[in-house]
């Protein structure tokens, strides 16, 4: 989602604001801007498009203020344009904002009647005018902001500066993350600790409803009732996350190549590899008697959860309910007494997932989160956190975060299976050994990417691509289709292979590539039968399988030969060719691989 940075500094802050925003580019954005307090006045520079456009603007029209805020915007209200870019201003207030003000229309109408003149189409601008309105009635900035916050509905993070006050900044958080950074006679605000890493490693995360008043030498946090509260100061690890592309063309490719290493880190966190056993934290419930596990997530994380459903039901013999987070809570799903609810999120800030977590928590479920950011909101509101050790993932399209989620969830499945008496010691060692071998297989597959470059020439000419799979391969087919449409903008759909004859087969012709994810497992013959139906109708098949091509019984246009694997770990390894097909197709088509259009890394509004 959008990125926020604020600095009360000892020197002009505009350059540091832009550098900090550059560290938030991975979130996705369409415009950017900064504002500072100079000689008692508010000065602002904004630009549509990439941060380099803002940097060029600042070179022509520099800012000298030592107090300032900056923002990268991903459009929600109002089209991407300079007039809709943040920061937004009234006569004496300047605001940057992540999230959505749900009641902005009624506020805008009220403020317009009171004389406010709006210069943008955004919901954010009402915040600046609302605070100004309170100040015109005689309130000082802090009181005016408190009064205005009480009238806002929605999810938001705010950073606010004021004309005539170069030693004051106010931040507020309701649903969207915001952190305070502590420096030497300097203070900072950021929507992400990564943005603050060059300035400080001392960070305080605001909790729901908190707002903070910053001065260079002090800060004060209050809750939504206005009571002064203390929040812990943490030492952030983000300073170690200064990342670049290395020798790779894109962050996405770098992160694809990092998977063997980060999967190893994640597995080591949950397994005793020498003993061949899972070493899992206490989840605070008796796994032998848990009546049901509920899993919820969004996007790629949902597909990781879907794989976990197959694993848990097959190996642990426990009922599993799974749904996308944006649906689960709104259908008011009944929760069993003593149930376990698992939430999967890379950022730990996904708005729909967080809302569903709170629904399940209120229903008495034990909350477990699988997240890549340990200090995230989802992590903090969970009973137990299962961290994935993927490191920062900069590419918007998830790769290493997905396979690390699968790694943690695989270990969870084994822990539950063992607790329920469904896993013998010998069987546990067999499955752990299969997981340990995953990084080696990934490294081997990454030695030669030419086959994917060749496929890209064909895929780049397609208007539609289908992905098919059965069992554990079905979620990987769904993920393959998502990756392709995310970064190449080619329409793609994933289907359970057995569903082809129930409708989707009508789409097949000689121009449609069909990727078939078909490890040589107990469902292989069924998948081959579906593949033959596709071939009979002219479909151009790309077979991803460890089976011999000659054993298929029909012509295939291409065969991505996979290593022989234990069926348990095929999702972890078969995810790789899905990523590489999408990546090389997108590169050939010239799209913005790391920051695809209309997408954001962390979706912090519903």
φ, ψ dihedrals at 73, nearest 5°: -110, 140
Query: Of these residues, 2, 94, 298, 360, which one is catalytic?
Result: 2
Would you say 158 and 34 are in contact if contact means Cβ atoms under 8 Å apart? no
- Residue 57: predicted pLDDT: 96
CA angle, 446 then 447 then 450, to 5°? 90
Q: Report the range out of 235-249, 263-277, 534-548, 566-580 with the highest average pLDDT.
A: 566-580
CA distances from 430 to 274, 414, 436, 560 (A): 13, 11, 10, 26
The Cα 458–Cα 513 span in angstroms is: 8
The answer to whether residue 193 scores a pLDDT higher than 50 is yes
Query: 282 CB contacts (<8 Å, ≥6 apart)?
Result: 384
Mean pLDDT of 479-492: 95
User: Cβ atoms within 10 A of the Cβ of 580, count?
Assistant: 23
The Cα 384–Cα 525 span in angstroms is: 41
Q: Can the peptide bond before residue 87 be classed as cis, meaning omega within 30 degrees of 0?
A: yes
User: Cβ atoms within 10 A of the Cβ of 144, count?
Assistant: 24
Mean pLDDT of 552-575: 90
pLDDT in tens, 44-55: 999 999 999 999
Domains and CATH numbers, the chain: 3-241 (3.60.20.10), 244-446 (3.40.50.10490), 448-591 (3.40.50.10490)
**pLDDT band (50, 70, 90) for residue 27:** low
* Percentage above 90 pLDDT, the chain: 66
The answer to whether residue 26 scores a pLDDT higher than 70 is no
Q: Which residue's entry shows tokens 């955004």?
A: 122
Radius of gyration of the chain from its Cα atoms, rounded to whole angstroms: 26
Tally of CA atoms within 13 A in the half-sphere of 453 that contains its CB? 5
- Residue 602: predicted pLDDT: 61
Would you say 172 and 179 are in contact if contact means Cβ atoms under 8 Å apart? no
Least-confidence region, from 192-206, 434-448, 530-544: 530-544
Residues in the chain: 606
The answer to whether residue 447 scores a pLDDT higher than 90 is no
Would you say 260 and 443 are in contact if contact means Cβ atoms under 8 Å apart? yes
**pLDDT band (50, 70, 90) for residue 325:** very high
**pLDDT band (50, 70, 90) for residue 238:** low
Q: What is the mean pLDDT of the chain?
A: 90
The answer to whether residue 535 scores a pLDDT higher than 90 is no
pLDDT in tens, 139-164: 999 999 999 999 998 778 899 999 99
The Cα 343–Cα 339 span in angstroms is: 13
Annotation marks residue 309 as catalytic: no
Q: What is the DSSP letter of 372?
A: S
Mean pLDDT of 398-418: 97
Mean pLDDT of 185-206: 90
The Cα 515–Cα 522 span in angstroms is: 19
Least-confidence region, from 25-34, 374-383, 420-429, 515-524: 25-34
Least-confidence region, from 255-269, 533-547, 575-589: 533-547
The answer to whether residue 548 scores a pLDDT higher than 90 is no
| One-character DSSP codes across 520-577 | SSTTHHHHHHHHHHHHHTT-EEEEEESS-GGGSSS--SEEEE-----GGGHHHHHHHH
- Residue 243: predicted pLDDT: 57
DSSP H or E stretch at residue 43 = strand 41-48
Query: Of these residues, 66, 254, 309, 601, which one is catalytic?
Result: 601
Annotation marks residue 2 as catalytic: yes
The burial class, CB within 10 Å (0-12 / 13-18 / 19+), for 103 is middle
Structure token pair of residue 10 = 């000892």
The Cα 550–Cα 103 span in angstroms is: 63
pLDDT in tens, 166-179: 999 999 998 778 99
Bridge-based pairing of strands 293-297 and 340-345 is: parallel
Q: What is the 3-state secondary structure (H, E, C) of 426-478?
A: HHHHHHHHHHHCHHHHHHHHCCCCHHHHHHHHHHCCCCEEEEEECCCHHHHHH
Distance linking the first and last C-alpha atoms of the chain = 11
The burial class, CB within 10 Å (0-12 / 13-18 / 19+), for 215 is middle
Structure token pair of residue 374 = 């340990």
- Residue 240: predicted pLDDT: 45
């Amino acid at each position: 989602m959008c990125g926020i940075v604020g600095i009360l500094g000892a020197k002009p802050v505009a350059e540091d604001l832009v550098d900090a925003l550059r560290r938030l580019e991975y979130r996705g954005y369409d415009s950017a801007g900064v504002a500072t307090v100079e000689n008692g006045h508010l000065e602002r520079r904004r630009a549509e498009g990439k941060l380099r456009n803002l940097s060029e603007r600042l070179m022509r029209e520099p800012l000298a203020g030592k107090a300032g805020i900056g923002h990268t915007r991903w459009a929600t209200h109002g089209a991407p344009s300079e007039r809709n870019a943040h920061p937004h201003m009234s006569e004496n207030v300047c605001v940057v904002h992540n999230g959505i003000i749900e009641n902005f229309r009624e506020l805008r109408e009220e403020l317009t009647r009171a004389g406010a003149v709006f210069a943008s189409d955004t919901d954010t601008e009402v915040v600046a005018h609302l605070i100004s309105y309170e100040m015109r009635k005689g309130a000082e900035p802090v009181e005016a902001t408190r009064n205005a916050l009480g009238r806002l509905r929605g999810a938001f993070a705010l950073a606010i500066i004021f004309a005539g006050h170069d030693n004051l900044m106010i931040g507020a958080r309701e649903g969207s993350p915001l952190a305070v950074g502590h420096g030497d006679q300097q203070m900072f605000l950021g929507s992400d600790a990564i943005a603050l890493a060059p300035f400080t490693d001392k960070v305080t995360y605001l909790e729901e409803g908190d707002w903070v008043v910053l001065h260079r030498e002090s800060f004060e946090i209050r809750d939504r009732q206005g009571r002064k509260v203390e929040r812990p100061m943490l030492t952030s690890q983000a300073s170690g996350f200064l990342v670049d592309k290395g020798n790779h063309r894109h962050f996405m490719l770098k992160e694809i190549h990092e998977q063997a290493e980060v999967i190893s880190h994640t597995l080591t966190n949950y397994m005793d590899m020498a003993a061949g056993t899972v070493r899992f934290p206490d989840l605070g419930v008796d796994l032998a008697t848990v009546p049901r596990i509920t899993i919820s997530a969004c996007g790629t994380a949902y597909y990781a959860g879907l794989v976990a459903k197959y694993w848990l039901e097959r190996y642990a013999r426990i009922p599993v309910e799974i749904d996308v987070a944006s649906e689960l809570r709104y259908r008011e799903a009944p929760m069993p007494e003593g149930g376990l609810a698992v939430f999967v999120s890379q950022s730990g800030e996904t708005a729909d997932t967080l809302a569903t977590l709170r629904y399940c928590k209120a229903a008495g479920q034990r909350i477990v989160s699988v997240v890549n950011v340990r200090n995230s909101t989802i992590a903090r509101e969970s009973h137990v956190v299962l961290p994935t050790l993927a490191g920062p993932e900069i590419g918007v399209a998830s790769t290493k975060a997905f396979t690390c989620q699968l790694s943690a969830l695989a270990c969870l499945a084994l822990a539950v299976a063992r607790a329920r008496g469904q896993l013998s010691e010998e069987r546990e060692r067999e499955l752990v050994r299969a997981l340990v071998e995953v990084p080696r297989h990934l490294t081997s597959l990454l030695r030669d990417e030419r086959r994917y470059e060749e496929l890209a020439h064909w895929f780049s000419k397609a208007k539609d691509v289908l992905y098919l799979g059965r069992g554990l391969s079905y979620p990987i087919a769904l993920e393959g289709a998502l990756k392709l449409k995310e970064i190449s903008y080619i329409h793609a759909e994933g289907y359970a292979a057995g569903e082809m004859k129930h409708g989707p087969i009508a789409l097949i012709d000689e121009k449609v590539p069909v990727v078939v994810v078909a490890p040589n497992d107990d469902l292989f013959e069924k998948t081959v039968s579906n593949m033959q139906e596709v071939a009979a109708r002219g479909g151009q098949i790309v077979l991803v399988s460890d089976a011999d091509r000659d054993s298929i019984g029909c012509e295939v246009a291409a065969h991505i030969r996979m290593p022989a694997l234990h069926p348990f770990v095929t999702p972890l390894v078969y995810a790789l060719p899905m990523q590489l097909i999408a990546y090389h197709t997108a590169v050939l088509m010239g799209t913005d691989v790391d920051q695809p259009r209309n997408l954001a890394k962390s979706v912090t509004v519903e």
